[in-house]
Amino acid sequence: MSDLQLRQAFESLQCSAIFERLEYIEVGGLYAVKDEFRECIFTLTKCNELNFGWRMYQAAIQKSIAAGEELQSWLAVNSMAAGDCRMYEPVISANDIANKIQELTGAKA
């Protein structure tokens, strides 16, 4: 997912009216208040909230990508070639997969 797609997904979760008062500064990766709205406390507060939310959203996406990549690596290392297993024997048990997902994400089984 590109940075632009990620930002568009984040913005789609927000109230769209506020973006008329803000601009996105690509270099800093932050939202800023347009000059004509600099005196509006609501807009300043909302801008700060969006910047905080944007950083948290990016961190969550990166964490989920890293967990997914680690899970893919673990599956590749721990799975056998299909020809090496017996007919009704799973390549990797569901419990092993569930335990690895729990380890990576902290999800309760």
38-90 pLDDT, tens digit each:
899 999 999 999 999 888 888 888 888 788 788 777 777 766 555 565 655 65
Asked if pLDDT for residue 35 goes beyond 90, the answer is: yes
pLDDT cut 70: percent of the chain above it: 78
DSSP bridge pairs for 31: 24
The C-alpha atoms of residue 8 and residue 67 are separated, in whole angstroms, by: 23
pLDDT attached to residue 81:
53
| Positive/negative CA dihedral, 9, 54, 2, 69 | negative
